[in-house]
Structure 1
Amino acid sequence: MAPRIAVLGCGYWGSNHIRTLKSLGALYAVSDQNSDRAAGFAAEQGVLHIEVDDLFTHPDVDAIVMALPPQFHAEAAIKAVTNGKDVLVEKPIALTVPDAEAAVKAAHDNGRIFMVGHVLRFHTAFEKLLELIKAGHLGKVRYIHSHRLGLGKFHTENDALWDLAPHDLSMILAITGTEPLEVRGEGAAVLDHLSDFAHLHLRFPGNVRGHLFASRLNPYRERRLTVVGTKAMAVFDDMEPWEKKLAVYKHSIWQDNGQWASTTEEPTYIKIAQGMPLTRECQNFIESIETRNQPRTDGEEAIRVLRILTAGTVAHNKG
């Protein structure tokens, strides 16, 4: 029997989790501070509506997916794991590293699964990109840059950096396999005191460099991750159709009589299997609940991402 999972928070991401878990046969209940909203989703999906105050101690709930405003994630996660529930917490899992560490420690101390919603780690194009890198097809990775741009999703507590960058940072950390030695950040607030634009500059061991640009005030959408290696370059562009989401460029660059020269080639588009990243993420959560194995995106990864976000925020606030 599939684990009985409740979704806490029926907003944009919560509603996505509700529909996805229902399709996987694992949705047991929904809950929200807005009882009418939760009751509507419960009736629509044919599952229980459980009031928030009763959710954490409900004997038939095995796990809780939390899609709350981030300032409430850590407290709710601690309450859940201390009551024996496994948790999947949407990003960011907290607004401070100490809060995140407390939530992850509570899960560990109580023998509970703690997963974070870094959904792009489950995108088949990224999985294939990571496979190519590990197999040496790009050579030694020298530079990684990501652009995540769009219009909208304005929050009262977290800015463009905290809202948009976690997914990209999770992918960059998976590629480098280590945390950066240096983080430099620049931000710009246009609408109010929260940054609408954010740049992060990252330096990793081995002189690997990274750059991230996030914007919520952009007239067009861009979802692109580029990896530059010594043998080839690869681009994961999530705005492209499936057959063009992952491209490899085998350019050649060399020195001739002290001058740099290069040749360019047409991209090779890598065949990837189609699949919804959120479905694959929820499947990983279900498997972790059933097997008690750590999920791909666990609490320790979430803490590493928060450290970078915090360092970047401090840096650009000083700027």
Structure 2
Amino acid sequence: MKNNAQKAARLSVAPMMDWTTSDCRYLHRLLSRETLLYTEMVTAPALVRGGALHLLDFHNDEHPVALQLGGSDPVELAEAAKLGSDAGYDEINLNCGCPSDRVQSGAFGAVLMQTPELVADCVAAMREAVKAEVTVKCRIGIDEQEPQEVLPDFLDKIRAAGCRRVTIHARKAWLQGLSPKENRDIPPLDYELVHQMKAAFPDLHISINGGIATLTEAKLHLDRGLDGVMVGRAAYHQPAEVLCGADPEIYGTGSVSDPAEAVRQMLPYIEARLSDGAKLNQITRHMLGLFAGRPGARQWRRMLSEGACRAGAGPELVEQALAQMADRAAA
């Protein structure tokens, strides 16, 4: 039985290119049963024109899991959304926040903040095509836009098209002058504006994203009335810090999970992936930060970084690295 994506959206792990692969999401699901997980952004043209349906592959244990799509053509997005819904995703999300050059050249991502009517058309077409919920992830504005003016208009238009859930990255995106990396850090955060949007649109489920690194910070936003919090880089680089306590602290269910136990549960999965032709480092690169801040973390990273690339490397390397962690913890 699939979990309810809206309920799960109280805490989510952001879509991150090259990071939130299926291997990464499988690990994150072992740390939290409740958190909503997002794919990397998949472009609608890659699915519809390119036939790259392998980009939709995911493990059944990842639920609740959302597919993020990039695109700006309503017809093509509707087709891509149907492919995603048919593949079993619990939610289809439209990217209106990514500032990369590649995304701009495709006329989607953050550049869509300039054309809320087009975004509304895309949302309406996607909703018509699928049973899964269609959601939007956006910025507060781009370039010289005035967020206090453009964001309410943007939300009003997508709400009119039937979108009931939106995640707002509380920074502008500067498409002229800043790199994608700089756009994650340099534009100032405006959390207050996101809280104002919740007050102005009480019927919308609004999640906040940007710079939130701990469950304590997440709870502050939830306690002030936001419906959800999306965590990005912190959930990737220190997954245990963000996800191990998420179920009891954010959802009031379950208990704090153990990253060492998650590693043990990863072993059969790793075995299966390797037998399908995957390389060990494709999987273990997502596990490097699992023990961040704990005794033996450096040795754990080193063993996996140096050993997982070697020919024939298998689950036994992960077991050895875990045993070394246990030795350090006991010392």
Identify, as 1 or 2, the structure richer in strand. 1
Question: What TM-score do you get using the length of structure 2 for normalisation?
Answer: 0.28
Q: TM-score, normalised by structure 1?
A: 0.29
Higher relative contact order, chain-length normalized (CA < 8 Å, sep 6+): 1
